[in-house]
Amino acid sequence: MSLRLNLGCCDALLPGWVNVDLLPPADQIADLRETWPWVDSSVDLVRAHDIIEHLPDKIHTMNELWRVLCPGGRAEIVVPTTDGPGAWQDPTHVSFWNRRSFLYFESGNYYRDRFAGRNGVRAAFRIIGESLQQTTDGPKLTILLEAVK
């Protein structure tokens, strides 16, 4: 059976997923600022809607996401972009993202190739889809990544 994680679920529990958050009512309590509690290459699909901006270390977040995903495993990330007020308005947002943030984790991209070694980036993803949604809080990026291993 495939392992599907709904990270940062809050109270929006999804049937058929392992719903993960820092506090109940999640199925699994986990602090994603630390080493993630899943073994290497054990997760097929990650849903990370409105969570990565709450995690302080982009490199740690993306490295852990890549580590737990199976080869070819996918992650759907939704994040408010720095192109609008939504990224800045929430006092619990501690990292700030836009489309270009993902270049440093994209397999074969110049930025990843040049800077990964010196920055500790192990993660390598293929970007297989993206869209931008306008919300009342400003634009949100949905990006679909596939783990390259």
Q: Which residue has the tokens 């982009």?
A: 58
Q: pLDDT category, 149, cuts 50, 70, 90?
A: very high
Is the pTM higher than 0.75?
Answer: yes
28-53: average pLDDT: 98
Residue type, 65: L
Q: Judge whether 70 and 130 are in contact, CB under 8 Å.
A: no
What's the rounded Cα separation, in Å, for the pair 19 and 136?
Answer: 26
User: Residue 58 is inside which H or E element, if any?
Assistant: helix 58-68
Per residue in 67-94, pLDDT (tens digit) is 999 999 999 999 999 999 999 999 999 9
What's the rounded Cα separation, in Å, for the pair 139 and 88?
Answer: 12
Q: Is 110 helix (H, G, I), strand (E, B) or coil?
A: helix
What's the rounded Cα separation, in Å, for the pair 63 and 35?
Answer: 10
- Given a cut of 90, whether residue 123 has pLDDT beyond it is yes
